[in-house]
Amino acid sequence: MLIAINKFLDRLLFKLTTSRLSRPAQISQMINSLPTQLILLKSLLTDYTIPIYSTTPLPAFVKFLRSQKALVSAYLSTQFHQHRVDSIEYYTALRDKHFSISPGSFISSALSVEHRSIVLDRVLVVIDSNPTLLTEPSDIKQAAIKHFQSVATPPLIQYSSIDEFPPRWQRAYTPISDIDSSLYNSVMSPILDEEWMIILQSMPNNKASGPLKFLTKCSNI
């Protein structure tokens, strides 16, 4: 509403200050509407008091209109600034919240990336050489997963033994017969607790922890 009042004052000033006054009937109508606009302004600004003014002489009336427009413009500028500050504080707090509970939303917000997605409500697949239209959400989800797992590479085949490998990989993975398999016994044997403690106690302190958040300082106590 304040914006409308500001535009009204701006238009009236423009018509009164142009070099050639045109459409006097329209100007007269706008001047007659001025008291209504000022009453509306008073209802919006609690501390505002409608000043006494006269439409003559014209320079004094124009000065009065400019003072009212400056008042409205200053108030609008203050409101816009406060709205901008409130918006910044709100979205900053929202981004901090997303950082804690929703990293994906935080990244999208930080990068100003709009989240877009494709909703599949039906999928046409081939089952036993017959085209089949899937409409159940669970079936659609499984079909989509299967598609994207195999769209670039053939599906992985699970082998239970080396004998099921293709000949090329059988030769690669079959143990070499002239190497004594007992050579690996010491490597494959379980690590003893004493060995763990020796390794941990030999590690330096004051180092950053890894993904498990394990500090070597704890083990050296």
Q: How many helical (H) and strand (E) elements, i.e. helices and strands, does the chain have?
A: 9, 2
Kindly report, residue by residue over 66-92, the tens digit of the pLDDT. Answer: 999 999 999 999 999 999 999 999 888
Give the model's confidence band at 150: pLDDT under 50 very low, under 70 low, under 90 confident, else very high.
confident
- The answer, yes or no, to whether residue 215 has pLDDT greater than 70, is no
The residues pairing with 133 across neighbouring beta strands, listed in sequence order, are: 124
Where is pLDDT greater, at 99 or 152? 99
In the chain, where the domains are located: 2-108, 123-173, 190-219
pLDDT computed for residue 25 by the predictor: 84
Over range 177-199, report the average pLDDT. 86
Over range 143-161, report the average pLDDT. 79
As a whole-number percent, the residues of the chain with pLDDT over 90 amount to 31
- The answer, yes or no, to whether residue 221 has pLDDT greater than 60, is no
Residue 51, Cα to own-chain centre: how many angstroms?
49
Please state, in angstroms and rounded to a whole number, the distance separating the CA atoms of residues 49 and 45: 9
Over range 140-147, report the average pLDDT. 89
Give the model's confidence band at 149: pLDDT under 50 very low, under 70 low, under 90 confident, else very high.
confident
Instruction: Work out the mean pLDDT of the chain and round it to a whole number.
Output: 84
Please state, in angstroms and rounded to a whole number, the distance separating the CA atoms of residues 107 and 99: 8
Q: How many CB atoms lie within 10 A of CB 72?
A: 23
- The answer, yes or no, to whether residue 151 has pLDDT greater than 60, is yes
Kindly report, residue by residue over 38-47, the tens digit of the pLDDT. Answer: 999 999 888 8
Kindly report, residue by residue over 94-127, the tens digit of the pLDDT. Answer: 888 888 888 877 777 777 767 677 888 999 988 8
